[in-house]
């Protein structure tokens, strides 16, 4: 009884009580606290890629998210097909990936789609709108969201096999000219253009293609999770909810019936 009252008092003050574990907390950033091994952070090729991402954008503390992004890209690089990212901003994750894979040597194209001026209010759902649009205005003003494509073009000028497509998704989706997509990253912080993009690209995703959803597990992006879950159900696939907050989906390989 007393224990419960103390717990309630502490929790109403904004703190949480955690049972002491014997294991030491090894990682605590970006909404993820755990006691697991993260020795990918010591891998020189990870460090080089991460540093390139930071050079494009900012010194984000998103190491595990980037690790998943690099894994996804590395896995997809073994498949036929191009890479697409919808929601690029300054190019943090995509720069890290291109560095990691020595991009031009892959022979693939990387399509980068963004308004490069924040969210498009026409493509934000009603339940997302008040918070998203208020933040959007703030983030464009304070530079957290890029405004203008010029600096982005300079950042990616290091690579030849890249196509920057400026404008609103879904209107710009038709400008992606590809025979197949091996990697699709959706990170637009709102659901309608993400659902439209996944629907639009579904048939172009090669068997085994990786789809990474940056915002899937973040509580404030619950509308995106609901929308993506509904679409996944339609497509008869399941999204893995990762502890990093990302969602991961694999386009099922073709089912060949053996007679
Ligand atoms: C969280 S940022 C992307 C972060 C990026 N993936 C990275 O690695 O840093 C979200 C981006 O989505 C873009 N965006 C939002 N709605 C969009 C839409 N309908 N069409 C195109 N871009 C959009 C914004 O301009 C913003 O740059």
- For residue 27, the CA-to-ligand 1 centroid distance in Å is 27
Q: What is the pLDDT of residues 125-139, one digit of tens each?
A: 998 878 899 999 999
Arithmetic mean of pLDDT, 20-25? 79
50 lines ligand 1 (CB under 6 A): no
Looking at ligand 1, which atom is closest to the CA of residue 85? 6
Under 8 Å between Cβ of 255 and 230: no
Domain map of the chain by residue range? Answer: 23-250
- For residue 13, the CA-to-ligand 1 centroid distance in Å is 35
pLDDT of residue 13: 75
- Close Cβ partners of 219 (under 8 Å, ≥ 6 residues apart): none
User: Exposed (0-12), middle (13-18) or buried (19+): which is 102, by Cβ within 10 Å?
Assistant: exposed
Q: What is the pLDDT of residues 57-116, one digit of tens each?
A: 988 999 999 999 999 999 999 999 999 999 999 999 999 999 999 999 999 999 999 999
99 lines ligand 1 (CB under 6 A): no
Nearest-angstrom CA–CA distance, 175 and 201 = 12
Q: What is the pLDDT of residues 144-178, one digit of tens each?
A: 999 999 999 999 999 999 999 999 999 999 999 99
Provide the CATH number for the domain formed by 23-250 in this structure.
3.40.50.150
- Measured in whole angstroms, the distance separating CA 202 from the mean position of its chain's CA atoms is 17
Q: Which residues pair with 79 in a beta bridge?
A: none
Arithmetic mean of pLDDT, 176-188? 98
136 lines ligand 1 (CB under 6 A): no
* Most distant CA atoms of the chain, gap in Å: 67
- For residue 25, the CA-to-ligand 1 centroid distance in Å is 32
pLDDT confidence band for 10 (50 / 70 / 90): confident
Nearest-angstrom CA–CA distance, 151 and 5 = 54
192 lines ligand 1 (CB under 6 A): no
pLDDT at 37 over 70: yes
Looking at ligand 1, which atom is closest to the CA of residue 89? 27
SS3 content of the chain, % helix, strand, coil (to 5): 45, 15, 40
> Which is nearest to 183 in space by CA: 81, 106, 56?
81
Q: For the chain, what is the mean pLDDT?
A: 94
3-class SS of residue 242: coil
Arithmetic mean of pLDDT, 232-257? 92
């Amino acid at each position: 009884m007393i224990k419960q009252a103390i717990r309630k008092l502490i929790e109403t003050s904004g703190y949480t009580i955690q049972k002491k574990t014997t294991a030491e907390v090894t990682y605590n950033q970006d909404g993820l606290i755990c006691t697991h091994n993260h020795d990918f952070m010591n891998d020189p090729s990870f460090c080089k890629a991460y540093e390139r991402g930071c050079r494009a954008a900012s010194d984000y503390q998103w190491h595990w998210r980037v690790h998943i992004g690099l894994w996804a890209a590395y896995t997809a690089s073994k498949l036929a097909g191009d890479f697409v990212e919808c929601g690029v901003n300054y190019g943090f994750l995509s720069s890290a990936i291109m560095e990691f894979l020595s991009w031009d040597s892959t022979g693939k194209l990387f399509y980068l789609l963004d308004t490069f001026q924040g969210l498009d209010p026409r493509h934000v759902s009603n339940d997302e709108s008040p918070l998203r649009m208020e933040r959007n205005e703030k983030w464009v003003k304070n530079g957290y969201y890029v405004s203008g494509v010029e600096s982005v073009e300079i950042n990616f000028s290091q690579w030849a096999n890249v196509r920057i497509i400026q404008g609103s998704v879904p209107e710009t989706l038709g400008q992606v000219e590809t025979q197949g997509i091996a990697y699709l990253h959706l990170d637009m912080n709102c659901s309608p253009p993400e659902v439209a993009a996944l629907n639009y690209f579904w048939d172009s995703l090669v068997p085994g293609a990786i789809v990474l959803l940056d915002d899937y597990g973040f509580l404030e992006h619950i509308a995106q999770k609901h929308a993506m879950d509904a679409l996944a159900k339609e497509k008869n696939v399941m999204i893995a909810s990762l502890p990093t907050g990302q969602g991961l989906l694999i386009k099922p390989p073709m089912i060949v019936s053996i007679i």
